[in-house]
Amino acid sequence: MPKYLRTFLAVAIAFSAAAPVTAAERADGTEDQAVYDRIKSLAGNWAGHMEDPLAGPPVTVRYEVASGGKAVIEHQNPGQSYEMVTVYFLADGRLRATHYCGAGNQPAYKLGRDSTAELALLEFDGGTGFDPDQDGHVHQGEIRFVSADRIEHRWFHFVGPKEQGVTHWFLERQPADEKIVATEPKSEPAASDPKR
């Protein structure tokens, strides 16, 4: 085989081997950016219920784009006694989040590999203020983008390495001029209630 042909083949193989890696890295970075942009689009007030979408305990969330678009602050139950905050941001092109929990710890997350355009999977990525091998913490989360005006959250609560429960939030966007107010779910009279 002529020397120039060997050189050409070696260069061609090197480029073809490198190209998929570069494309994969670009695709992953774009995915993180796309999910972050989708989280930014949630800016405003949201209200709904936990566990049961129609009659569960009320929950409210406010999303605020901050730092010139470089962070999104999620206020869970703002103004309530158990308000918590999660901050979403990009670090080196990767979506990250830190949850400032009412329990006094700060678990951190990264975007999971199995995330899709409709489902952001937040995988545990360390944190501060707790020992993940022993202490209670929110270990992972999910944001499902149902539509432009509907989302769902799931938060997985762990004690050490064991899952202890999941909270499921069903949220709808509130009109921009409407103040966000948590309301108690309407309850049906009990079957033994004579007024029924």
150 burial type by CB count under 10 A (0-12 exposed, 13-18 middle, 19+ buried) = middle
Determine phi and psi for 7, rounding to 5 degrees.
Answer: -65, -45
Q: Which amino acid is residue 15, in one-letter code?
A: F
pLDDT category, 82, cuts 50, 70, 90?
A: confident
The residue behind tokens 């360390």 is 126
Q: Which residue ranges form the domains of the chain, and what is each CATH number?
A: 38-173 (2.40.128.20)
* pLDDT over threshold 90, residue 4: no
Tokens describing residue 196: 């029924």
- pLDDT tens digits, one per residue of 162-192: 999 999 999 999 998 655 555 454 444 444 4
Q: What is the mean pLDDT of residues 1-13?
A: 44
User: Is beta strand 44-50 parallel, antiparallel or unpaired with respect to 119-128?
Assistant: unpaired
Please state, in angstroms and rounded to a whole number, the distance separating the CA atoms of residues 46 and 163. Answer: 27
DSSP-assigned letter for residue 1? -
